[in-house]
Structures are given as structure tokens and as C-alpha cells.
Amino acid sequence: MASRSYEIDMCRGPLLGKILRFSFPLMLSSILQLLFNAADVITVGQFAGKEAMAAVGSTASLYNLIINVFVGLATGSSVLMARFYGSRDERNCQEIVHTSVLLAIICGIALIFIGIIVSPVVLSLMGTPDDVLSHAVLYMRIIFIGMPVLMLYNFGAGILRAVGDTKRPLIYLTFAGILNVILNLTLVIVFDMGVAGVAIGTIASQAVSAVLILRCLIRSEGLYHLGLGKLRISRDKLVLIVKVGLPAGIQGALFSVSNVILQASINTFGSTAMAGSAASQNIENFVYVSMNALYQACISFTSQNFGAGEKKRVLRVLWLCLATVVAVGVIAGGLATIFGHQLLSIYSGEEDVIVFGYERLVIVCLPYFLCGMMDVACGALRGIGLSIIPTLVSLAGACGLRIVWVCTVFQLDRTIFTLYMSYPVSWTVTFIAHIACFVHFYRRWANGDTMHRRHRRVAELAH
């Protein structure tokens, strides 16, 4: 079968080469997906002014806050698919595929209403300046109209990722990314549509990538074939997806709560600081998604080997992913900082915007490998069947600590340097806590304790 050539056998053979073969296309895919928003920010920054640029850039934390719970469900779907695929359980794989696609449609429709209603209220509460607010609300409302296609892509790509296929999503996003840039430039420059133009260009290109991913699943054979006539919600699979994915989604949403609070603090420094922060965040995001590919690899490889009962390989996956994510983070973060001025000038030609952006790059992007280590350790915990523990650790170590930092340390020294320092401090604390939890629960599993037996009971329940 042609689809077999895209899969990776995660449970046998050398690991490092397979982890890299899995991660590299995923890095490129994530970078292309990120280019959707970067193309928005660059286009409006160069052709619609810094207020429009600030509007598009400052919506990222709110956007993530609203969608992260639903994206967490896609993660739960991917984890379970990898686990059943690792044990070659055809019936459960099929039920996960069809439940996931229908759930994606439902989540996308729900997000349309949530985003349109919530966006203007929260943007106002965040203290978004008047010269930015109307642009930001318009951008968010159009983006949320496209949520069903975004959810379909995320759930569908998660299914492919679970079986080791990261190449075809890369191909689809390459095409969609080129289309997005063409639409942005056309709608903003030729038709003078401003933030509305870049929003329309983004959702149109995302619709193309969603159609291509669905076509791939429909044409695939075997364990992850999608039959549109078989779309239905399997109640037990939905329960499992929610059980695994909801804590991850809540974690992502509450991460975004802390980022919304930080964004509100950045807003107090004015639209120039907001624009500089938005430009820096876009550059940082390229480093982040490169590292996040190792997080996704850790989840998929750990889940499949956990399902197959391969204890030693689970441990090797963690250490290899940690070593690789440090290398990626140090190199990418260092290059982004070294060439920071040149990169920031792509987003804005205004020197004061570049100065604000570069300060954030130095404080946040240079030590970004710490964030990668934190995420990989969290992914290992999710891969061995834990969902609540990594969520609680992340909420306390990252989200809670950042909020406390803003309410205490930042109040004592109200500088943007002090505000940004909350990031590397919270990453370090949370990584240490995640590793301590993994060591504890891995030892219990390796000694024949309850964890692997619980997985087997889950499989039996699914039957």
C-alpha cells in the first residue's frame, strides 16, 4: 500500500533516526502553519500600519485561550490512536478515526459562536488601546468563522502523526502556505482590505489544507481509513478522548490565561511596545514550533511503545528527545537573537518597534530551549498514560508562577525586562517538576505497578 511508505515503525529498530525522520517534516509543517499568522502580521505591518499590526499580533494569546481546549481534544485523539496503532487494534483505531473527524466538525462549529461572542469582550478587558481594538475584533471574528476547517486539519493531522506520517501534512501545508501569502498580498495591497484581507486569506488557505488531509484519510487503507458513511460518535472513544485530551486542553487554555495577563501588562506600555512584542512573538514562534515537533515525537513514540509494553524504549525516547530539543532550541534561539534586528525589520520599518521587539527576543528567545525541555518532559508523561498530573504540574509551575510573578515581582519593578523574565523562570521550575513526576511513575510502571494494567483495562473497556 502506498500509505505504508509514509508510516514509521516506532516500536522496533534504532530510535534517533526515526525520531528525526518523524520530527523534521513536522517542524517544517508547523513552520508553514505558523507562516499563516506571520504572513498576516508582516503584510499588515508593511502595508496597513502599526495599529493594524498590533491588532493582528496582540490577538494571539486570546485566540489560543479560546481554541486550546478543543486542540487538546485533538491531542487526546492522537495519543489514543498511537496507543491502539502500537498494539495493532484495528477496531479501536477505526472508531477513533471516525469519532475524531465528527468531533472536529462539532468543535469547529461551537468555536464560531464562542469566538465571535467572547472576542470583543475579552479584548476590551485586556486594555487593548482604542486605535487597535476595532481592527483586532474584526480580525478575530473572521478567523473564528474558519474554525471548522482548522479543527478538521488538527484532528486529521493528529491521526496521521499517530501512525508516524508527518510528510503528507507537510506537502499539504506547503501548498496552502503559498496560497495564503498570495491571498494576503492580493487582498491587502490590491483591494485595500487591511486586517479583514489577511483574515480571509488565512481561513481560505486553511480550508484547502483541511480538504487535502480529509482526502488523504479517505484514500488511505487499513487502520486509519476514513469512510464518510461511517462517521459517528463512539461513546466510549469520546469518553477516552475527553479523558486524555481535556486536561491537555485545559492546560493549554490556562497557559493562555497567563499569557493574556502578560499581554495585558504589555499593553500598558502602549501600541509601539505591543507591535514590538507582536513581531518578537512571531519570530519566537518559529523557534517554539521547531522544538514542539520533538514534544509531538515524544508523545507518539512514547504512546506506541507504552501500548506495546516496551519499557526500555520509552526511557530512551525521553532522553533522546530531550537532547535533541536542547540542540534545536539553542541553535534556533541563538540564530534568532543574533539576526534579531534584521528579522524584526521584516515586520516593521519603525526603529522604536524594533528596539522593543529585540529586548523581548534577548530575554525570551535566547533561553527558549528551557521551554522545549519542559514540553518534552510533559509529553513523556502523557505518553505513558497520565493526563491529570502533567496538567496540574504545568498549571502550578508555569501558569500559576507567571500570574504570581505579575502580581508581585512585576509590581515591585514595573519594567518590560522584569515582565519578560517570568518566562524562563517558569520554564525551569516546571521542567524540574515534570521530570521528577516522570521518574516516579516510570519506576512504578517498570516495577509492574498499576499503570500498564490500567492501559490494558482501557483497551478491554473499548471492546
d(CA 278, CA 282): 6
**Under 8 Å between Cβ of 167 and 6:** yes
pLDDT tens digits for range 28-73:
877 776 766 666 777 777 777 777 777 776 676 677 767 777 778 8
pLDDT value of position 291: 93
Radius of gyration of the chain (CA): 21
Three-state secondary-structure class, residue 255: helix
User: Does the predicted model carry a pTM greater than 0.75?
Assistant: no
**Under 8 Å between Cβ of 188 and 199:** no
Dihedral sign from CA coordinates of 217, 222, 228, 232: negative
pLDDT tens digits for range 337-375:
999 889 888 877 788 888 888 999 999 999 999 999 999
Annotate 371-382 with DSSP letters as a single string: HHHHHHHHHHHH
Annotate 2-69 with DSSP letters as a single string: GGGGG----SSS-SHHHHHHHHHHHHHHHHHHHHHHHHHHHHHHHHT-HHHHHHHHHTHHHHHHHHHH
pLDDT tens digits for range 88-121:
888 888 999 999 999 999 999 998 998 888 888 8
Report which of 159, 163, 162, 80 is spatially closest to residue 462, judged by C-alpha positions. 80
d(CA 429, CA 431): 6
Task: Give the residues of the chain that fall short of pLDDT 70.
Answer: 1-6, 33, 35-39, 57-58, 60-61, 65, 256, 449-463
What separation, in Å, do the N-terminal and C-terminal C-alpha atoms of the chain show?
27
**Under 8 Å between Cβ of 365 and 333:** yes
The domain limits of the chain are 11-452+455-459
